[in-house]
């Protein structure tokens, strides 16, 4: 369920500032989930790095790119699948890469929708900042 939530530019900027001051962290929640069926709203910021390959078994993701650019890899087959200790949910499978995937350059203003069970990963040589909405898919 996506519940109504207004998130202001000021809230986004405040979370982004907080995120950049937190070593080793690349995302922060913008709105707390009321229950496990609710959407998860978060802001993500990555510099000179990648977001490891993953599949979400029950969720689809919506990314809105706020700033920066990256190479986005999707589809194909997840390689080296494993469960990450301490992961927020047990429905995410991480991986070491994506075999036979498609790539696309993404940039500020792009909107990406990733269906459940779709391998996806991202790499940036500079930085990228984006909003994520993670929604349970029936």
What would the pLDDT profile of 84-93 be if each residue is shown by its tens digit?
A: 776 666 688 9
pLDDT value at position 115? 94
Any domain includes 4: no
How far apart are the C-alpha atoms of 126 and 69, rounded to whole Å? Answer: 8
Query: Whole-angstrom Cα distance, residue 126 to residue 68?
Result: 7
Question: Residue 80: is it exposed, middle or buried by C-beta count within 10 angstroms (0-12/13-18/19+)?
Answer: exposed
Residue 3 falls inside a structural domain: no
Number of domains making up the chain: 1
**Does residue 1 form part of some domain?**
no
Instruction: Report residue 111 as tokens.
Output: 């909107």
**pLDDT tens track for 14-46:** 999 998 888 888 888 887 766 666 778 899 999
Residue 117 in any domain: the answer is yes
Indicate if the pLDDT at residue 1 is higher than 60: no
**CATH code (residue 39):** 2.60.120.10
| Domain residue limits at 117 | 9-136
């Amino acid at each position: 369920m996506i519940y109504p939530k207004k998130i202001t530019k000021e809230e986004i900027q405040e979370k982004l500032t907080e995120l950049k001051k937190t070593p080793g962290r690349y995302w922060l929640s913008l709105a707390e989930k009321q229950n496990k069926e609710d959407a998860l709203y978060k802001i993500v910021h990555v510099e000179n790095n990648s977001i490891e390959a993953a599949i979400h078994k029950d969720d689809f993701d919506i990314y809105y790119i706020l700033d920066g650019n990256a190479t986005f890899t999707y589809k194909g087959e997840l390689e080296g699948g494993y469960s990450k200790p301490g992961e927020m949910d047990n429905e995410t499978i991480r991986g070491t890469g994506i075999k036979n995937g498609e790539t696309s350059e993404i940039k500020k203003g792009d909107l990406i929708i990733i269906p459940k069970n779709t391998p996806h990963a991202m790499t940036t040589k500079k930085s990228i900042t984006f909003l994520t909405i993670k929604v349970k898919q029936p």
